[in-house]
A and B are shown apart, each in its own frame.
Chain A
Amino acid sequence: MDVTVQEASTRTLSYSEAIREAMVLAMETDPTVILMGEDIGVYGGAFQVTLDLVDRFGPERVMDTPISELGGAGVAVGAALTGLKPIFEFQFSDFATLAMEQIVNQAAKLRYMLGGEASVPVVFRMPAGSGTGAAAQHSQSLEAWFGHVPGLKVIQPSTPEDAKGMLLAALADPDPVLVFEHKLLYKMKGEVPAGHYTTPIGKAAIRRAGSDLTIVAASIMVHRAIEAAEQLVTEGVSAEVIDLRSIRPIDHETILASVRKTGRLLIVYEGVKSYGIGAEISAMVAESDAFDFLDAPILRLGGAEAPIPYNPDLERAAVPQVDSILAAARRLANREV
């Protein structure tokens, strides 16, 4: 499926406005789309993403749930199984841990267990990531956990344009989709096409072409990687930056093609480094023919092996920043086999 932009005109919107616009479009055109979540009505959601939607669509379609993540997510799964298309918002992706059972044991497996006779078109919206000083229980990057589960789709849009297009794609998808939205991106502005369009799930984007090394990143790390790449140009190093956009399914081909071209691979992600997205991509490259093109060992730059700390300097040190990406890229660029 290609990116189809039906109306050419674009406007500048913030990431959260883009998400809201996708929800409005979907709700206007499809009466089965409903929103569920804690304080998404008059409060507008913990990050104000659903602001004013209750005024527009009423409390029957913009449903405040009690603080009951397991129950709420499960109700969304049941509704999706039987004709509605719920978008369930977790206030923080961290609280999906309370709903793990319904997401992992039910939503992910129902189609399979029922031999393809049923479908669960539910969308879970997940504000994720660190940088807000909210500490260990409100700052995690748990996308890799869900990436491990067959039956789920897991996306991490990094721009307002993708946030809208990928949410619309998620709504059109017959399977459960988890959308990880980085909290620090909500206020980020960008050009967003008007009208209905979808950005395909499972397709990475090359954000910056380069020839000396490949940086694969996701979510907010894409922006940090681009900043690092721009700095590298002044040092005579040309880095290609790939925005994963989707971690399940993952776009093997775009990554492998880039590695064949550059011969060096750095993977940058905010989640804890071990057992994460970096391990998956490294192994995938090592198992492929692209391995023969590598001029240096693959490098992973992930989050510290610790919960996210409260102190702002520790918090910054716990996840990749532009300077740490830069340092890793320099090491990789200068490294001989």
Chain B
Amino acid sequence: MSMTDNRPFAIRTYSPAQLKQALKRMYLIRRFEEGAEQSYMRGLIHGTMHLSIGQEASAVASCIELTDADKITSTHRGHGHCIAKGADVARMFAEFFGKETGYCHGRGGSMHIADVQTGNLGANGIVGGGLPIAVGAALSAKRLGREDVTLCFFGDGANNEGAFHEALNMAAIWKLPVVFICENNRYGMSTSVERSTAVRRISDRAAAYSMPGTTVDGNDFSAVAEAVHHAIARARAGDGPSLVENLTYRWRGHSKSDRNRYRTKEEIEEWMGRDPIVRFQAELVAHGILDEAEASAIADAAVSDVEQGIEFARGSAAPAIGEVTRYVYAEA
């Protein structure tokens, strides 16, 4: 990196192949979420789901440097993180459809999606549930002498759970290689951060646990990548945890039962105008990483991956009823 290189961090730092893959993953997340929503509306899947449309940059930019050895813990809004970490959308759809071919053999569903092979230790139905688990994963890395880091995703709502405070404190006193990533999309269900949280910036809470805290525009791919890059470098160097707050927004309601009475149409539209995918793609084009034709090829590939994923899921077999207690304990 030369002194005169004032291109955005991500463009300076990552290879064109990495950046194109990142764009593809952002498209995959968007199309995946839309596919999940449509499948739900057509009655193909039951239960509920929490869509992360609008938050694609936060997931993908945070994970761009990770290898399969690195771990993440995720939230109830976890589809995007799963894709960002490299999961296969077909097996994810299979999980939604409750099929044996799904990542959790149909036992977990949307809220518990995981992909242990790529280091995704799982979405979580319990707000804040993943925070101490991430600290434990980082403890393993340190004790077992591994290089891997753990990224811990959670929402603004989760930062009021006791688990948040207890986890950050232990990560700090033991200097563990973990990065806490708060996806601040302004609401915990219907309750705004202003109404739920005493500090103005959630990253301010880092000070109480003696770790660096930064707040970035979570819809700016490069800003997220840069903040998380520094936090990962610090973790790998043995200097301990950091807290990164990505300011973003979920376009959809909290879940399928949300009547959206707590936010205005204007607010939603304003945020839709800050589409992280449009922005990242424009940046890549502007810096000559790809041209418009390549960009549409990437977008189209995401569409067909998602279509094929849904087909795979529909065609897969359901778990056998007699196996309802399978996977409760290890098999002999």
Show the binding face of A for B, using Cβ within 8 Å: 38-39, 41-44, 46, 48, 64, 66-71, 94-95, 98, 132-138, 304-307, 309-314, 317-318
Q: How far is the CB of A304 from chain B (nearest CB, A)?
A: 5
B173: A residues at CB distance < 8 A: none
A-chain residues with CB within 8 Å of residue B128 when the two chains form the complex:
67
A135 nearest CB neighbor, chain B only? B109
B157–A314 touching, CB < 8 Å = no
CA distance A309 to B111 in the complex (A): 12
Contact segment of B52-60, B84-92, B100-108, B302-310: B100-108
Whether A133 lies near B109 (C-beta < 8 A) is yes
Residues of the B chain whose Cβ atoms lie less than 8 Å from the Cβ of A64: 190-191, 195-196
| Binary per-residue interface labels of chain B (309-332) against chain A in the complex, 1 for a CB within 8 Å, 0 otherwise | 000000000110101110010000
Are A43 and B262 within 8 A (Cβ)?
A: yes
B189 lies within 8 A of A43 (CB):
yes
The reply to whether B321 and A313 contact each other, CB–CB distance below 8 Å, is: yes
Residue from B112, B157, B321, B324 within 8 A of A137 (CB atoms): B112
Are the CB atoms of B261 and A67 closer together than 8 Å? no
Asked if B261 and A43 make an inter-chain contact with CB atoms under 8 angstroms apart, the answer reads yes
Kindly list chain B residues whose C-beta atoms are within 8 Å of the C-beta of A43.
189-190, 258-259, 261-262
> Which residues of chain B are within 8 angstroms of A67 by Cβ–Cβ distance?
127-128, 157-158, 160-161, 188-189, 191, 196
Q: A318 to B261, alpha carbons, bound, how many Å? A: 36
Give bound CA distance, A137 to B75, whole Å: 13
- Other contacts beyond A132-B48, A311-B98: 14, CB < 8 A: A39-B190, A46-B189, A48-B257, A66-B196, A69-B161, A71-B162, A133-B109, A135-B111, A135-B125, A137-B125, A137-B129, A310-B107, A310-B108, A311-B318
| Interface residues in B214-236 (C-beta closer than 8 Å to A) | none
Q: Give A67 to B161 CA distance when docked, in angstroms.
A: 6
Q: Which residue of B lies closest to A311 (CB)?
A: B98
Is the CB–CB distance between A307 and B262 below 8 Å? no
CA distance A318 to B110 in the complex (A): 19
For A38, the chain B residues whose CB sits under 8 A away are: 188-189, 191
Closest CB in chain A relative to B274 CB, distance in Å: 25
When C-beta atoms are compared, the residue in chain B nearest to A51 turns out to be B259
**Chain B residues in 8 Å Cβ range of A318:** 324
* B41 interface hit (Cβ, 8 Å): no
CB-based contact B325/A312 at 8 Å: no
B160-218: which residues lie under 8 A (CB-CB) from chain A?
A: 160-163, 188-191, 195-197
**Given A67-B127, A133-B48, A311-B107: A317 touches B324 (CB 8 Å cut-off):** yes
Min distance, Cβ A255 to any Cβ of chain B, angstroms: 29
- In the complex the two chains form, is B47's CB within 8 Å of A132's CB? yes
* 14 contacting pairs across A/B (C-beta < 8 A): A38-B189, A39-B190, A43-B261, A64-B191, A67-B161, A98-B161, A134-B48, A135-B107, A135-B108, A307-B107, A310-B104, A310-B110, A311-B99, A314-B319
Binding site of B, secondary structure by majority: helix, strand, loop or mixed? loop
Contact across chains for A98 and B126 when beta carbons are under 8 A apart? yes
- The number of chain B residues touching the other chain, given as a range, is 35 or more
Q: Is the CB of A309 within 8 A of B157?
A: no
Q: Of the candidates A48, A98, A314, which one forms a contact with B107 in the assembled complex, judged by CB atoms under 8 Å apart? A: A314
Q: Using Cβ atoms and an 8 Å threshold, which residues of chain B touch A94? A: 125-126
**B residues near A95, Cβ cutoff 8 Å:** 126
Q: How far is the CB of A46 from chain B (nearest CB, A)?
A: 8
Report which residue of B109, B124, B195 has the largest number of chain A beta carbons within 10 angstroms of its beta carbon.
B109
Q: Does B46 contact A (CB under 8 A)?
A: yes
Q: Which residues of B sit under 8 angstroms from A137, Cβ to Cβ?
A: 111-112, 124-126, 129
A313 and B318: CB pair below 8 A? yes
User: Which residues of B lie under 8 Å from residue A133 when comparing CB positions?
Assistant: 45-48, 109
Q: What's the minimum C-beta distance from A153 to chain B, rounded to whole angstroms?
A: 26
Specify which chain A residues have a CB less than 8 angstroms from the CB of B319 in the assembled complex.
309, 311, 313-314
A39 contacts which of B191, B318, B324, B325 (Cβ < 8 Å)?
B191
How far is A5 from B126 in the complex, measured between Cα atoms in Å?
41
| Cβ-defined contact, B112 with A136, below 8 A | yes
Kindly list the 4 A-B residue pairs having the minimum CB-CB distance in the complex, ordered from nearest: A133-B47, A310-B109, A137-B125, A311-B98
- B314 CB to nearest A CB, Å: 14
Q: Quick one: which of A70, A71, A309 contacts B324, CB cutoff 8 A?
A: A309
- In the bound complex, do residue B127 and residue A306 qualify as a contact, i.e. CB atoms below 8 Å apart? no
Interface core residue of B126, B157, B318 (most chain A CB under 10 Å): B126
Chain A residues with CB under 8 A of B47: 132-135, 310
Contact A305 B162 (CB under 8 A): no
Residue of A nearest to B108 (CB): A310
When the two chains form their complex, are residues A312 and B98 in contact, meaning their CB atoms are under 8 A apart? yes
Are A134 and B160 touching (Cβ within 8 A)? Answer: no
In-complex Cβ contact of A134 among B99, B111, B127 (8 A):
B111
Partner of A305, one of B160, B257, B325: B325
Shortest CB-to-CB span from A77 to chain B, Å, is 16
Which residues from A are CB-within-8-Å of B112?
A: 135-137, 310
User: In angstroms, how far is the closest chain A Cβ from the Cβ of B295?
Assistant: 36
A66 CA / B125 CA spacing, docked (Å): 17
Bound-state Cα–Cα, A64 to B160, Å: 13
> B residues within 8 A CB of A44?
259
Chain B residues with Cβ below 8 Å from A132 are: 46-48
Cβ distance A215 to chain B, nearest Cβ, rounded Å: 23
Tell which of B48, B110, B190, B324 touches A314, judged by Cβ atoms closer than 8 Å: B324
A306 with B111: in contact, given A43-B261, A313-B318 (CB under 8 Å)? no
B321–A306 contact, CB under 8 A?
Answer: no
B125 surroundings in chain A (CB, below 8 A): 94, 134-138
Q: Which residues of chain B have C-beta atoms less than 8 A from A305's C-beta?
A: 325, 328
Question: B277 to nearest A CB, angstroms?
Answer: 29
Known: A133-B47, A136-B125, A138-B125. A309 touches B106 (CB 8 A): yes
Of residues 253 through 296 on chain B, the ones whose CB sits less than 8 Å from some CB of chain A are: 257-259, 261-262
